[in-house]
Structure 1
């Protein structure tokens, strides 16, 4: 427990004093009573030194602050729902799942979409409880659904939700939860018979491998994702997969620079024209020319290419102001591009803004990258 809390705090660059202030701020916003500042300082110290257990009362505050589940914060295994006591209860749950109509599946999908919008603007950490409950309800619905015509739409909704939850976990620094949720999303997509959802989950999962220090394996996985959906994907998803391949090739190093540029060209060649970014066949995909300019700039910045700066400023000028976390990442890209050109003042300015945005969204992933880039100043 002590290592979990300390690690989550450090991932955000927070001191113990900052954590105390965040607890007090959360308590004020939600009209909760907490001990005095002096007492909270003692609590935080004792939690991290293993001399005090985190109570359920404080766990409910720390989860949304740090973007962790109870299991990740405290280490307790989830107890799950009570065991079925007999056939009557089992049949009751099966009958309930059988009556699950398309309107209820749409409700699940709408909830996922709401969480996606909130995540884009506020960050993932504050949504950990809601996403955990949302996935549990979807998994429960799928568990007790029997026939394929009932299971498939639920499985598709679960695939979309699990992939979103995985990306949020990755952003919060909970990499094992991210990996498990991607696996859940892949299984659900396979059951739903949805190769597009399967390819999307595989490609995003490749980022976990890349950030864990296995870039070559990440490139292999994103290419396998393209094969998994070959002939069954929209042009926008195809462009997105090529762009993801380009970024992962750039992360793998200069030996894959030609592959990176080739993938960027392929992405541009299949991307539908116009300003529309949302893929109607795959609601989790946002990609248009402006987004691709940012992706190109990001990849070229990692390769040290001078063309990166122009693409990135083009992307910044056209960025939707509600994409708060995306702007934090874009500012990191610009800092990296300026560092490659020896323009340290400009890099420092973008890192300062990126740090503020990362603090707003609670992104441990961006904070880690900001710290790495700051060390190069």
Structure 2
């Protein structure tokens, strides 16, 4: 009864139910209620208020920027282990604070570090929105990340945001357009990026080529990724903290891509990746079990596929991943 009254506007959503629904649906309070609360009119003179904001932005210190980045890192860790649905409001408030600091920063010396922080936070927020099924919000966050990266004159951040944004297109059924975008990201990066970021872009290109049915291009991109990935167990890119990629991760990614192509070698790569995967990457583990299910389906090994789909569904539900649940449902229809 409440749901019908909420939908028809006959009853407002109370704060108690709003907190439950935001967590369940992975939406912001503004999206849930359908309208933002009206802001109070400023009491101060307009110029006084503007100058106050400019002065405040100009005094953003290195320690404050570090605090912004530390908050992004905390949200990234929470997302990795618990999923994105319960972080929507925290992420929205974090982005709002960063945007406010950037909007009123005047000189490049003040703008650049804040813009970099905003670019990193926006790509995280976009990926979380994708995972929650809020694709339009994801697209807007990627556009914000790209603007911030351009403001910061940071091609690494711009290329990364473009590369992730290509997945929105692929999920929407426009994989070929996603391939074009990620190749444009590679051109944008040029020789400026780290080997780990270049490997990430090549691997993402390979995955999108597989979705687009471009098998030869896919295999060439995989070879390019394998050729530039740095050796050793280290997976964090010091220049792009949102990139986690080493040889083991790339083996899992390669297995996923080969599975999309129906290549029998996929299963071996994926089981190897499962053995060494960091257990704190809960949503990624759900994706890996889905990859294995897909690879077993391609080999008509349906009992094994069912086993991995059950694991994938359990982990996707644990993190509230709409994107992974959708993938599990599509694979289940093939069994």
Q: TM-score, normalised by structure 2?
A: 0.96
Q: In 2, are the aligned partners of 1:223 and 1:245 still within 8 Å (CA)? A: yes
Q: Distance in 2 between the 1:231 and 1:373 partners?
A: 39
Work out the CA distance in 1 between the residues paired with 2:284 and 2:115.
Answer: 28
- After TM superposition, the structure 1 = structure 2 runs for residues 94-113 of structure 1, keeping only pairs within 5 Å, are 94-113=54-73
SS of 1:281's equivalent?
coil
CA RMSD, 1 decimal = 1.5
Q: Distance in 1 between matches of 2:206 and 2:199?
A: 11
Distance 1:220 1:80, change over 3 A: farther
Structure 1 residue 58: deviation in Å?
A: 1.6
3-state SS of the aligned residue for 1:342? coil
| Cα deviation, residue 69, structure 1 | 1.1
Q: Which runs of 5+ in 2 are unaligned?
A: none
In the other structure, the counterpart of 1:68 is 27
Q: Which residue of 2 aligns with 1:243?
A: 203
In structure 1, the partner of 2:298 is: 340
Comparing 200-209 and 59-68, the one that deviates more: 59-68
* 1:283 match: secondary structure: coil
CA displacement 1:192-213 (0-9 Å, x = unmatched): 0100000000000000000111
5+ residue gaps, structure 1, are 1-41
> Counterpart of 1:359?
317
Mapped to 1, the partners of 2:138 and 2:120 lie a distance apart of 14
Q: 1:208 aligns with which of 143, 146, 168?
A: 168
How big is the shift at 1:362?
Answer: 0.3
Report the alpha carbon displacement of residue 45 of structure 1 after superposing the two structures with TM.
5.2
Q: 2:140 pairs with 169, 177, 180, which one?
A: 180
Change (3 A) 1:158 1:277: same
Which residue in 1 is equivalent to 2:288?
A: 330
Kindly tell me: are residues 80 and 228 of structure 1, through their superposed partners in 2, closer, same or farther at Cα, counting changes over 3 Å?
farther
Aligned residue in 2 for 1:32:
none
Question: Relative to structure 1, is the Cα distance of residues 312 and 74 closer, same or farther in structure 2, using a 3 angstrom cutoff?
Answer: same
Q: Deviations over 1:64-97 (max 9, x none)?
A: 2221012322321465685574212211111111
Which of 15, 18, 33 is residue 59 of structure 1 equivalent to?
A: 18
1:304-315 matches, within 5 Å, as 304-315=262-273
How many residues in Structure 1 have an aligned counterpart in Structure 2?
334
2:216 is equivalent to residue 263 of structure 1? no
Distance 1:220 1:66, change over 3 A: same
